[in-house]
Amino acid sequence: MINDKVLIIAEAGVNHNGNFTLAKKLVDVAKLAGADIVKFQTGVPELIMTDNAPKALYQSRETGSVDSQLDMVKKISLPFNDYILLKEYCDEVGIKFLSTPFDHKSIDFLKKLDIDIFKIPSGEITNLDYLQEVAKIGKNVILSTGMSTISEIANAVSVLRDFLDDSQISILHCTTEYPAPFEEVNLNVIKTLKSTFGLNVGYSDHTKGIEASIAAVALGAKIIEKHFTLDNKMIGPDHKASLEPNELKAMISSIRNIEIALGNGIKKVTRSEAKNIKVARKSVHILNDLKKGTILSQKDLIMKRPGDGISGFEIKYILGRKTSIDLGKDHKVSWKDFI
């Protein structure tokens, strides 16, 4: 996706708290602010994570630790039909609609909405099946790269290039923490990604304030994605990291923060985001109960959170092997499960 001017994506995400009226208000805010795109998140919670998938620390901090990640996401999800209405409303007010799918059913649904961009979140960067399904659609793809190394990004880009031209692929540098600490933002990675892959590069900003986004544009970012909310005092996982621009004091602070945020240009998994890999990524799980001695096939598997099991890129090494024990639905697959 080659764009002459910086593409501004206003990330509404789940800041509607599962309320359609609030979602429409977020569209209005994004339009009035001059954003090119307003983006939401589409998913079927039960297809994304298991009952015991833990919350990220920032999620527990903002929503409490009593509910599971699954319970939390169920409360702030919208039904598919609401996204149809939201797209119609975006068309009406004159702003482009976008939503990130988090499972295969949501990918199929968004295909029917005929959107011309698919956004791949950082947590799916090692989900081979997911990457292939999105790429096969043939639309422009924006890939976020939080929690990843250069080699992992290369693997994902290689999958996309099997189906798409380079002009259809964009990469977003990202630090997956909410809010992201300035000393880990490492904005010089924007230049690293551009020189390594030769693709359109942007920045998904999880920091407080606006200075990092401005600095990213100065470093050559052609896409900026930034979370926003109606009120950062609302209860929910992302509101606190979705801040409005500050006044003079913040401008002065921004200058100092950008000096820190420029970083050294080496892309790596940072200390604070490493703990979120298990939470945000998916690994191989059993789709339905299997008896001991079953010869494993693709139809027996599903990619679900947590992501501390076998990677989607390693599925080929377990297909055709025989189970050594009975394996229940949602069992996280390990190498010891096979003969």
User: Do 29 and 142 share a domain, yes or no?
Assistant: yes
Top-confidence residue, 133 or 33 = 133
Q: Give the number of domains in the chain.
A: 2
Residues 130 and 75 occupy one common structural domain: yes
Q: Which domain holds residue 62?
A: 7-278
pTM here is 0.83
Distance, in Å, from the CA atom of 31 to the CA atom of 174, rounded to the nearest integer, reads 24
Supply the CATH number for residue 298's domain: 3.90.1210.10
216 shares a domain with 291: no
Q: Which residues contact 290 (CB under 8 A, 6 or more apart)?
A: 296, 300, 323, 326, 327
Q: Has residue 96 been placed in a domain?
A: yes
pLDDT for the residue numbered 90: 97
**Could you read off the pLDDT of 157-176 as tens digits, one per residue?**
999 999 999 999 999 999 99
Q: What is the CATH number of the domain that holds 232?
A: 3.20.20.70
Are 259 and 170 contained in the same domain? yes
Looking at the fold, whether 273 and 286 belong to one and the same domain comes out as no
Q: Are 309 and 262 in the same domain?
A: no
Which of the listed residues 229, 257, 278 is the one where a domain comes to its end? 278
User: pLDDT digits over 136-151, tens only?
Assistant: 999 999 999 999 999 9
Considering the chain, what is the average pLDDT of its residues?
90
Q: Does residue 92 sit in the same domain as residue 48?
A: yes
pLDDT, mean of residues 189-206: 97
- Cβ atoms of 63 and 236 closer than 8 Å: yes
Please check whether residues 229 and 290 belong to one and the same domain: no
pLDDT classification of 339: cutoffs 50, 70, 90: confident
Select from 145, 144, 92, 87 the least CA-distant residue to 116.
87
Same domain, 264 and 291: no
pLDDT tens across 233-242, in order?
676 666 666 7
Q: What pLDDT shows up at residue 7?
A: 86
Residue type, 2: I
Q: Let me know whether 49 and 195 are in one domain.
A: yes
**Domain identity same for 290 and 189:** no
Residues 311-318, mean pLDDT to the nearest whole number:
97
Give the 3-state secondary structure of residue 142.
strand
Strand, coil or helix: 159: helix
Q: 199 lies in a domain?
A: yes
Does residue 1 fall inside a structural domain? no
- pLDDT for res 110: 97
Last residue of a domain, one of 261, 278, 295: 278
Contacts of 317 (CB under 8 A, 6+ apart): none
Residue 271 forms part of a structural domain: yes
At residue 63, the pLDDT reads 66
Is-contact 223 10, C-beta < 8 A? no
In this prediction, residue 259 has a pLDDT band, given cuts at 50, 70 and 90, of: low
Amino acid at 46: E
Write down the H helix ranges in the chain.
20-33, 45-48, 57-63, 69-75, 80-93, 104-112, 128-136, 150-161, 189-197, 211-218, 248-261, 271-274, 277-280
Residue 143 lies in a domain: yes
- Is 68 in the same domain as 129? yes
| Cβ atoms of residues 110 and 88 within 8 Å | no
Residue 2 domain-assigned? no
